[in-house]
Amino acid sequence: MVNTGLIRIQNPASDHHVHTKLCGHATGEMEQYVQTAIEKKLKKINFLEHMEEEISWKTRTWLQESDFDKYFAEGIRLRSIYKGQIEIGLGVECGYNPDATETLLKRLAQRQWDEIGISCHFLKIEGLNEHLNLFTRNEENIAICRSIGTDILLTSYFHSLTEAVQILPGTIVCHLDGPLRHLPELQLRDSHYMQIDNLLKEIAKKNITLEINTSGLRIRGEQFPALRILAMAQDYDITMHLGSDAHKPEDVGSNFQQFWPSTL
């Protein structure tokens, strides 16, 4: 355990969250992500690829089972090539959908994941043909978010994420305050902090970890989740891991240095 000022991070030389081109919105071969991790002196890289179920969205931004087959084959090949240089984990970032819980549980149970990330990227909104994407820059989608109102969407999001933590066999909760990040006017209310407090209690109860996602530094100048939430998590003794959420090889381990002690 390492002290970095206020926040204690476990295994700070591990990147717990990177993607690959298999998800359709990332670039680069898995091997390039591994090579960047080695160049950046990481001891572990954990792939955490997108799984979604029964989501209607403009394009598929997640892997199908046949993609996961390729993902595991390549990951296992890389493990043998880079053995002794870096540890390679093969995990999944499972997007929660309350309408597809059974299928998600079944798919998760089918494979041996090194990590199961819990996210909630999409919400179903009455009257809309597609799901609402809480993480996109798509302007049409953002306009809909604004017309519904960020307060109400955040309330649904935290409700959904808490349910996901209760139901799914997750090991880490991803980018906890990441939704609607492309709306600069976004503000969390006291009621949201009460929901977050409840969510953190669930995370502590299940003894799973919380991700410090450094893509927030690239997007909004602060990691996900914000320091106030990390301090709340620390009060519950929740273990924290770093994740870059890299969607291109050069972003592996990005901005990790500021969480590293000088002795690392």
Work out which of 36, 97, 119, 244 binds Zn ion, going by CB under 5 A. Answer: 119
Instruction: Point out which span in 2-10, 66-74, 112-120, 145-153 binds Zn ion (CB under 5 A).
Output: 112-120
Instruction: Point out which span in 79-87, 99-107, 117-125, 208-216 binds Zn ion (CB under 5 A).
Output: 117-125
Helix (H, G, I), strand (E, B) or coil at 219: helix
Report the alpha-carbon distance of residue 164 to residue 170 in Å, rounded. 8
Binding mask 79-98 for Zn ion (x = CB under 5 A): --------------------
Q: Which of 13, 19, 42 is nearest to 92 (CA)?
A: 19
Report the alpha-carbon distance of residue 81 to residue 85 in Å, rounded. 9
Report the alpha-carbon distance of residue 86 to residue 79 in Å, rounded. 8
Is the previous residue joined to 12 through a cis bond, with omega within 30 degrees of 0? no
Query: How near is the Cβ of 81 to Zn ion at its closest, in Å?
Result: 25
**Site size toward Zn ion, by CB under 5 A:** 1
Q: Cβ closer to Zn ion: 119 or 160?
A: 119
Instruction: Point out which span in 33-41, 62-70, 113-121, 181-189 binds Zn ion (CB under 5 A).
Output: 113-121
Q: Which of 237, 241, 231 is nearest to 211 (CA)?
A: 241
Query: How near is the Cβ of 178 to Zn ion at its closest, in Å?
Result: 7
Query: How near is the Cβ of 48 to Zn ion at its closest, in Å?
Result: 8
Q: Cβ closer to Zn ion: 119 or 214?
A: 119
8: exposed, middle or buried (Cβ count in 10 Å: 0-12, 13-18, 19+): middle
Q: Cβ closer to Zn ion: 4 or 32?
A: 32
**Adjacent-strand bridge partners of 15:** 45
Q: Report which residue's Cβ sits closest to Zn ion.
A: 119
Query: How near is the Cβ of 85 to Zn ion at its closest, in Å?
Result: 26
Cβ atoms of 211 and 117 within 8 Å: the answer is yes
Q: Cβ closer to Zn ion: 17 or 85?
A: 17
Helix (H, G, I), strand (E, B) or coil at 244: coil
Q: Which residues of this protein are in contact with Zn ion, per CB under 5 A?
A: 119
